[in-house]
Amino acid sequence: MPSGQTHDRITLWALPFVAGFTFVQTQSGNLTLLVAGGFMFGGLMFGPDLDIYSRQYQRWGLLRWIWIPYQKSLRHRSFLSHGPIIGTTLRVLYLGIIAVTLAILSVVVAEKLGHRAWSWQILSENVGRSLISYSTESLALFLGLELGAMSHSLSDWASSAYKRFHSSGIRGLLPRAKMKKRKAKARSRQSGSKTSKSRTK
């Protein structure tokens, strides 16, 4: 697999192309900024390797503790962390749950201190209104996060595929299940030929 430094370089090199393509398609500076910002954040801090002690994990600094339950719940390079769309969606939901939990604690503290302006109703209304009003912007940001994560996963896949091809040729690129079936068939043929030879003797 590529090193963390290589992943960072891929993200930074691809950033101008992602930004340029987005601007050509949308003709919007705001949406381009959101996609490009999401791509950079997804590639450098919010990518699939948050499931291990990686460079992405270390960049969260004092807040990296929030990813420890995430790491303990997932196997490295599983579909839930490295899979397209589902990996980014799961991380967004996970981080959202953390943010909502902290917001609830903040509201509780504010209520205890007598600040009645902060209430559950006001908080839920503000969040709901923001999601509805900025649905296009939210989608653009999610797309950027997904592109950043996929640049990481695709480079992992390409590196692994190259190593398998270098060591096993075309056979190394075949899915492991097919390779196992072929090995099982080859073994059964060998065992069948041995039994037939023993019978003829």
Q: What is the mean pLDDT of residues 149-178?
A: 66
pLDDT > 70: percent of the chain: 71
Mean pLDDT lowest among 5-14, 136-145, 147-156, 160-169: 160-169
User: How many residues belong to the chain?
Assistant: 201
Please give the tally of structural domains in the chain.
1
Is 136 inside a domain boundary? yes
Q: What is the pLDDT of residue 82?
A: 86
Report which of residues 122 and 61 the model is more confident about: 61
Instruction: Tell me the three state secondary structure of residue 158.
Output: helix
Calpha distance 2→197 (Å, rounded): 50
Alpha helices, DSSP H, located in the chain: 4-26, 29-44, 55-58, 68-73, 79-82, 86-112, 120-133, 135-168, 176-200
Q: What is the mean pLDDT of residues 87-115?
A: 85
Calpha distance 174→178 (Å, rounded): 7
Predicted TM-score (pTM) of the model is 0.73
Q: What is the mean pLDDT of residues 91-98?
A: 94
Residue 144 has pLDDT above 80, yes or no: yes
Residue 55 has pLDDT above 80, yes or no: yes
Is 187 inside a domain boundary? no
Q: What is the mean pLDDT of residues 5-34?
A: 93
Is 108 inside a domain boundary? yes
Calpha distance 184→48 (Å, rounded): 34
Is 44 inside a domain boundary? yes
Is 184 inside a domain boundary? no
- Give the pLDDT band of residue 131 (cuts 50, 70, 90): confident
Q: Which domain holds residue 124?
A: 4-175
Is 190 inside a domain boundary? no
Is 181 inside a domain boundary? no
Is 95 inside a domain boundary? yes
- Give the pLDDT band of residue 177 (cuts 50, 70, 90): very low
Q: What is the mean pLDDT of residues 112-121?
A: 65
